Amino acid sequence: MLKDKNDQRTSLSELGEFGLIKHLTKYFAINCDTTEKAVGDDAAVLEFGDEQVLVTTDLLVEGVHFDLSYMPLKHLGYKAVMVNLSDVYAMNGTATQITVSIAISNRFTLEALEELYAGIQLACTNYKVDLVGGDTSSSTKGMLVSVTAIGKAPKQDVVYRNGAKPNDLLVVSGDLGGAYLGLQVLEREKQVFEANPNAQPELENYSYIVERQLKPEARKDIIMLLKDLDVKPTSMIDISDGLSSEILHLTSQSEVGCNLYEDKIPLDPQVISTCEEFNVDATTIALSGGEDYELLFTISQDDFDKIKGNPHLTVIGHMTDKSEGVHLVTRGNQKVEITAQGWNAMKEE
């Protein structure tokens, strides 16, 4: 229930983004028999006969989620779509349509918005989805972009976060940490530019990680690959808030524990070299960085032979009994408890 106005006020940072969502929605009942899954996964699931409809939405706010001093508007449009398509794929579904709503201040010109929508159009073309609606409004503080993605999947194909079992293998697509490091490089170059507007950004040696930040790709290909391999994950989530946070979502909702092996975490050579340059630990970056938009999922051990050796997939751990907890097994074979250190949208400045 809502607190009495005389009660002590609660800071949003105490709850965090997911705690806030859970708190605000806990009293909402399901009123429609077509609602199969409401709040609490990567996408909502609506049931219409044998096929289920997936719906997800994300809001990107200038100054919070993106900085237009180094984020081109075309890239922003593309990324805004990717963020949402990734959630559909994390349900093992196929994305079909999007809606786009924007709020903009009067500093943006028509040509600027054409750039934004050129990125949205490129995403629609590349991922074969249709733009079917949206809204526009004015803003007193920069730009806000809200995209809703709609997808579908046969009922038997939908994968939730809560299906992992002890002894299932923990698998990740691609590699981790690049997007966060790309952001750090861009922030550094911004500071250099602000100190000396004549300075040219030095990004040649960071092309991969900068692209991971500015123009990520949702992993539609992994969903197709798993179908070709005849592998249905037992649970799945996309990596938007950092590996540690996503593992904790899977283990919490599946009521299992996990051992994650540090030496198995896939890292691109550019991530490793940039970590050395910035004097930061690559494992910490992979665990806490976020915005990689890779897929993290569990599979039965019976399916291991189907995926072993695949260059797109890496087994990084296994699920355990809940009583064993959630741990990182270090290269020195020590067990360290995993805590959520990833992105928290409600964190106080």
Give the pLDDT of residue 293: 98
Domain boundaries, the chain: 12-157, 169-337
- Give me the CATH topology for the region 12-157: 60s Ribosomal Protein L30; Chain: A; (3.30.1330)
pLDDT: which is higher, 112 or 49: 112
pLDDT at 13 over 80: no
**Are the C-beta atoms of 86 and 173 separated by less than 8 Å?**
no
- Confidence category of residue 343, pLDDT binned at 50, 70, 90: very low
Sheet arrangement for strand 326-329: 235-238, 295-299, 169-173, 313-320, 257-261, 326-329, 335-337
Q: Give yes or no for residue 345 having a pLDDT over 50.
A: no
176-229 per-position pLDDT tens digit: 999 999 999 999 999 998 888 888 778 889 999 999 999 999 999 999 999 999
Does residue 23 carry a pLDDT above 90? Answer: no
What is the pTM for the complete model shown? 0.86
DSSP for 254-273, written as a single string: HT-EEEEEGGGS---HHHHH
| 295 vs 179: CA distance, rounded Å | 14
DSSP string, 169-218: EEEEES-SSHHHHHHHHHHHHHHHHHH-TTPPP--GGGHHHHHHHHS---
Share the mean pLDDT of the chain.
90
pLDDT at 348 over 60: no
**Nearest residue to 322 (alpha-carbon basis) of 211, 95, 181, 164:** 164
Q: What is the pLDDT of residues 274-302, one digit of tens each?
A: 999 999 999 999 999 999 999 999 999 99
Q: Band of the pLDDT at 43, cuts 50, 70, 90?
A: confident
Q: What percent of the chain has pLDDT over 90?
A: 69
Alpha-carbon gap, residue 21 to 307, rounded angstroms = 35
Lowest mean pLDDT among 14-28, 77-91, 200-214, 293-307: 14-28
Model pLDDT, residue 138 = 87
Average pLDDT over residues 112-127: 92
Confidence of residue 131 (pLDDT cuts 50, 70, 90): confident
Q: Which CATH superfamily is domain 169-337 in?
A: PurM-like C-terminal domain (3.90.650.10)
Q: What's the pLDDT at 17?
A: 58
pLDDT at 181: 97
Which stretch of 9-13, 206-210, 292-296, 333-337 has the lowest confidence by average pLDDT? 9-13
Q: Indicate the residue type of 348.
A: E
Question: Residue 104 pLDDT > 80, yes or no?
Answer: yes
Residue pair 42/237 in contact (Cβ under 8 Å)? The answer is yes
Answer yes or no: is pLDDT of 14 > 80. no
